[in-house]
Chains A and B, each alone.
Chain A
Amino acid sequence: MPEVAKKIGCNRVVKGVAITNPTGDPGLPVEEERSLRRKVVLQALSALEKEVKTG
């Protein structure tokens, strides 16, 4: 839950797909799922590259 992560002090938070599969989606065909996972990871990397201020 991104709200909670932010509340407890995490400064860089990326929303995952779902509780049972934060970086995946079994409902998608394999290639599309890989694509989705890559998108989430790239968001994470981009957060690491960004300066952030405390909220």
Chain B
Amino acid sequence: MGNRMRVVYYMNQFFAGIGGEDKAYEPPTEFEGPVGPARLFEKKLGGKGIVVKTVSCGDNYFAENAEKVKGELLERIRSASPDVFVAGPAFGSGRHGIACATITSTVAKELKIPAVTAMHPENPGIDVMSMPAYVLPTEIMATTMDNVLTRISKFVLKLVEGQAIGDSKVEGYISLGRRVNIIDPLTGADRLFPLLWAKLKAEDFTTEVPLPKYEVIPPPPAINEIAKATIALVTESGVVPKGNPDGLVSWSEERWFKYPISHLDDFTSTTHQTVHGGYENTNVNQDPDRAVPLDVVRALEKEGRIGKVADFLLTTSGNVCTTDSAKRMGCEMAEYLRRERVDGVILTST
């Protein structure tokens, strides 16, 4: 590639100068040459590349029409025959981050060219990034734009020159934490022993699977007057109305459902069943109270021990559910329960 490389650049409506939140519903559009931060970026390439096109889309329009926008933008980008794609930087802005991550990952996969974006490490856009696209870290505020564009330009030049990109910490990009299978020269049995011998000698060793880190969730305060409280029943045991009207699946489920229970004192084998594939279902099918204790909770409500049983059962099937799905569902359920002014939850799990 003796000539200057051709860059196509994406940014949201704000950075493209179209407008602020008032223009967040603008559909995809494009400009010839560099616009907004792409101008400074082009300068930083030092003559080695030019931005031939800038594409843009309103953040809200992107969020609500992602599939359509992906396709449209891809065509606009492809038609400019780029060698490289850059998006953002999105800094701390969630919608812009998700849009940048989405389009950058799509371009990397479909057009098979180097594709780089940048945003804050906790931007929700990180969760939708996928290799072979790259994302560089930034601060939350856009005050460091100049520094970020310098880093992106250096990184992009490295990629285009075919240089090998090494460890994320060394090279300055955000590791996506994605695990892939490889075939090692040695078997697991052979790799184990040097590690164990080192551990036995209290020497340093590196585990092959770092333990998952889970965030510390501060415990909500205790319920003061439980006799006045509304308690909801939530479960991952897969209990659903008989016939499974919404087709809850037995594994890798990503959805949850709510079913009315205010008319019920009890779950029985005629009214409900379970579809969870991760445990032997016979016991719960015979009596679903064995997984979701409605009979007891309803009795306690009648006795005045608790104020009220919430009107709906929230249910999903947690079998082989990824932690990301489970976390998302938990957040969604919590939102719903908060709106319904539920005070406490009994969550049952198999």
Residues of A within 8 A of B (CB): 5, 7-12, 16, 19-26, 33-34, 37-38, 40-42, 44-45, 48-54
In the bound complex, CA of A48 to CA of B286 (Å):
29
| Contacting residues, chain A, for B293 (C-beta < 8 A) | 23-24, 37, 40-41
In the bound complex, CA of A38 to CA of B299 (Å):
9
- B348 CB–A CB distance under 8 Å: yes
| Contacting residues, chain A, for B300 (C-beta < 8 A) | 38, 41-42, 45
Cross-chain pair count, CB within 8 angstroms: 99
- B193 CB–A CB distance under 8 Å: no
| Contacting residues, chain B, for A25 (C-beta < 8 A) | 290
Q: How large is the interface on B (under 10, 10 to 19, 20 to 34, 35 or more residues)?
A: 35 or more
Q: In the complex the two chains form, is B348's CB within 8 Å of A22's CB?
A: yes
Q: In the complex the two chains form, is A45's CB within 8 Å of B306's CB?
A: yes
Nearest-CB distance from B350 to chain A (Å)?
5
Residues of B within 8 A of A (CB): 212, 214-223, 226, 229, 231, 237, 279-284, 286-287, 289-293, 295-297, 299-300, 305-306, 344, 346, 348-350
In the bound complex, CA of A21 to CA of B300 (Å):
21
Q: In the complex the two chains form, is B214's CB within 8 Å of A20's CB?
A: no
| Contacting residues, chain A, for B305 (C-beta < 8 A) | 45
What are 28 A-B contacts with C-beta separation under 8 Å? A5-B349, A7-B214, A9-B214, A11-B217, A11-B218, A11-B219, A19-B279, A20-B279, A20-B350, A22-B237, A22-B349, A23-B289, A23-B292, A23-B296, A23-B348, A26-B287, A33-B290, A38-B296, A41-B296, A45-B231, A45-B300, A45-B346, A48-B223, A48-B226, A50-B222, A51-B219, A54-B217, A54-B218
In the bound complex, CA of A34 to CA of B346 (Å):
17
Nearest-CB distance from A46 to chain B (Å)?
9
| Contacting residues, chain B, for A37 (C-beta < 8 A) | 289-290, 293, 295-296
| Contacting residues, chain B, for A20 (C-beta < 8 A) | 279-284, 350
Q: In the complex the two chains form, is B283's CB within 8 Å of A24's CB?
A: yes
Nearest-CB distance from B106 to chain A (Å)?
32
Nearest-CB distance from B345 to chain A (Å)?
8
In the bound complex, CA of A16 to CA of B348 (Å):
8
In the bound complex, CA of A50 to CA of B222 (Å):
5
